[in-house]
Structure 1
Amino acid sequence: MYGKKILIIGGSGFVGTAVANLLARAGAQLRVPTRRRMRARHLLSLPAIELPEVDVHDPATLEGLMSGVDAVISLVGVLHSPSAQPYGPAFARAHVTLPERIVAAARKMGVKRLIHVSALGADAQAPSEYQRSKAAGEAAIRAAGAGLGWTILRPSVIFGPGDSFLNLFAGLLARFPVMPLGGAGARFQPVYVGDVARVVLEALQRPESIGQTFELAGPRVYTLAELIGYVGRVSGHPRPVLPLPYPLAWLQAAALECLPGPLMSRDNLRSMQADNVAAGAPLPWGWQPTALESIAPGYLGDSRSRPPSLEARKRTR
């Protein structure tokens, strides 16, 4: 990757930071657009990085960002949106319209390579608006046609230092004596953020990955209740988990989505109706995924007084 210029759209967030650090170590020159430069200041120490303060949703701006780049990495995603059919406006803007504009700009500017990070469970017939919008974004990538070599990655829920998943529950468990939980039986196969970044780098270097879709997952499947139980033990705040029947879970989600920076939404609950589990090998190329138990204690063990991090959730989105 030495000397290659890579545009990372969504590069200042949780996953983008891991990707940017790995690519920088591999010698790539990085361009990471951000709406607010201060939110990307943690990347300033990386060598050969540009941090233009722009709106990536503007087509003309996208074209300018792609000038002279060898590859584009698309990472933008949101977790919540006002509801609509087939998906809400925030989902449409981030997951569908933006990929369409990325493809159009890449083709116009002669960019030859695109890595698009979608989500495990993306399906046009899925129960949630989030999953359906992710599938529509994938369709836009696949429709790029000849000349743009794309690869789609579908990670399960991603964990690692600074995540908005395990850290969120660690903060909640520190504050409440019991955890009433909708979707307690939902199944996940969490994947380490470092593994996701490694696959992005490897895909950029493997021509055979062009035109392929890869699922990314960890070595083990957990129910949501099992994950929360584990987080409680590791963070020093074991709490009883109270599974909620679906009608109560629906009411809980409806109430939580009214909060600023919502912790849960009814669409999140719909997403959990489908298992977030890889259909085949957890990682491509025969790689062995990193176990959650080998990473999580290192960043959850000191979370006893840490509240749920709204900033962490914003970075992930």
Structure 2
Amino acid sequence: MQRIRQVCVIGGSGFVGSAIVQKLSTAGYDVKVLTRRRESSKHLILLPNVQVVECDVFNDTALAGQIHGQDAVVNLVGILNESRHASFEALHVELPRRIADICCKQGVRRLLHMSALKASSDAKSAYLRSKAAGEQAVLDRSSELDVTILRPSVIFGRGDQFLSLFASVVKVLPVIAVAKPNARFQPIWVEDVAHVCVAALENVSTYGRSMELGGPQVYTLQALISFIAFLLGKKRRIIALSDKLSYYQAYVMEKLPVKLMTRDNLFSMEVDSVCAQPVKELFGVPTSALEAIAPEYIGGDTPRSAYDRFRSLAGRAMGKR
């Protein structure tokens, strides 16, 4: 097997991508990060062995030029909500298909593709259906590529779009109405996801596999919000909404300029984001407990800065990068 040295990361300037790029750099790989705006990736430019390149990944010629000569490609592009400028079909299905096709044409065999836990072709959620279609588009080329699919539950860590968003809500609102309060998640720390990505890169046993990624503990959404309130020292009344009221709340929220929740998000939460098997360690490293990591970055804002961060995080959840 050819030793991997050059790694091209597509969508590497965001929350998860930045952690993966840093881990790849530390491991000694030469990393090329493709981004729409180099200016937004200043935090990566100074890393050793990292090159940040502006590239329109929807232009096949430009994308092929950047993938040419690489030993591996990591695709991290994804959105939680659609917008006028970004659809699930374009980012989750067509882009992975084109990346796989270009890898084949350029002779780049190794491809890691980030999907989502519980992606399924018959899911009620368009997000989960599109993730499943993207997986299949990549796996269709598995005779020519060494593919690994990563399927994480929700990912948390400093700068996330999950705990940090709820923390901002808890700081601002005295009463919190929770849609799908019993939805279950198995949150995984972003650094653990990055560890898996780097460890899997040259691990032949991961070729052709889909890997479910989750942390050591499963939580309901209501339990997570209660834990956040505890960390912040806030006494908040939490109202658990029925399925019908959850649907109405999502319907109203998706009409707002900033989509805090959509009906499709709600459909995603109808399926427990929990791994089929317990996850105590990944590649020999114990998975990190949310209770050990979250206190390091939850808290410390004033109500005004919490509101501003809430708006910012909600905007990023729409796919803004």
TM range (shorter): over 0.9
Could you tell me which residue of structure 2 aligns to residue 232 of structure 1? 229
CA contact (8 A) 1:237 1:304 kept: no
Instruction: Provide the rounded CA distance (Å) in 1 between the counterparts of 2:287 and 2:17.
Output: 19
How many angstroms apart in 1 are the aligned matches of 2:7 and 2:259?
33
| Structure-2 change in CA distance of 1:246 and 1:301 (3 Å) | same
Instruction: Give the residue type in structure 2 aligned to 1:116.
Output: H
2:136 match: secondary structure: helix
* SS, match of residue 32 in structure 1: strand
Residue among 105, 117, 122 paired with 2:119:
122
Tell me whether 237-246 or 281-290 shows the greater mean CA deviation.
Answer: 281-290
Structure 1 stretches of at least 4 aligned residues deviating more than 3 Å after TM superposition: 283-287, 308-317
Where structure 2 has 5 or more consecutive residues not aligned to the other structure, the ranges are none
Name the structure 2 match of 1:292: 290
CA–CA distance in structure 1, aligned partners of residues 255 and 81 of structure 2 = 11
Tell me what 2:240 maps to: 243
In the alignment, structure 1 segments of 5+ residues that lack a partner are none
Bigger mean CA offset, 262-271 vs 73-82 = 73-82
- 1:274 and 2:252 equivalent? no
Letter in 2 for 1:298: E
Q: SS in structure 1 opposite 2:100?
A: helix
Q: For 1:112-138, what per-residue CA distance to the aligned partner results, in whole angstroms no more than 9, with x for missing partners?
A: 100111000100111200000000000
TM-score normalised over the length of structure 2:
0.92
Q: Distance in 2 between matches of 1:145 and 1:268?
A: 31
CA shift, 1:185, in A, is 0.7
Instruction: Name the TM-score, length of structure 1 as normaliser.
Output: 0.93
The 1-side partners of 2:33 and 2:311 are apart by 22
Q: Distance in 2 between matches of 1:139 and 1:34?
A: 25
Residue 146 (1) aligns with residue 143 (2)? yes
Shift of 1:142: 0.6
Equivalent residue, structure 2, for 1:35: 36
Counterparts of 2:159 and 2:255, CA distance in 1: 24
Pair 13,111 (structure 1): closer, same or farther in 2 beyond 3 Å: same
- Secondary structure of residue in 2 paired with 1:215: strand
Q: Distance in 1 between matches of 2:316 and 2:22?
A: 16
**Matched residues in 2 for 1:189 and 1:49: separation?**
32
Asked if structure 1 preserves the Cα contact closer than 8 Å seen for 2:199 and 2:283, the reply is: no
Helix, strand or coil for the counterpart of 2:245?
A: helix
Q: Secondary structure of 2:35's partner? A: coil
Distance 1:194 1:63, change over 3 A: same
Determine helix, strand or coil for the equivalent of 1:73: strand
Aligned amino acid, residue 121 of structure 2: A
CA distance in 1, matches of 2:235, 2:126: 33
Q: Deviations over 1:189-239 (max 9, x none)?
A: 000100000000000021111001110001111000000000111123231
Residue 61 (structure 2) aligns with? 60
Contact 1:66 1:109 in 2 (8 A): yes
Query: Residue 158 of structure 1 aligns with which residue?
Result: 155
Aligned-residue sequence identity (percent) comes to 43
Tell me the residue number matched to 2:180.
Answer: 183
1:164-205 CA distance string (max 9 Å, x none) = 100001101111101001111100000010000000000002
Partners of 1:311 and 1:56 in 2: CA distance: 25
Q: CA deviation at 1:288?
A: 2.3
Tell me which moved more, 166-175 or 33-42: 33-42
Task: Please point out which of 93, 96, 101 is paired with 2:98.
Answer: 101
1:314–1:68 Cα change, 3 Å: farther
Count of aligned residue pairs for this structure pair = 313
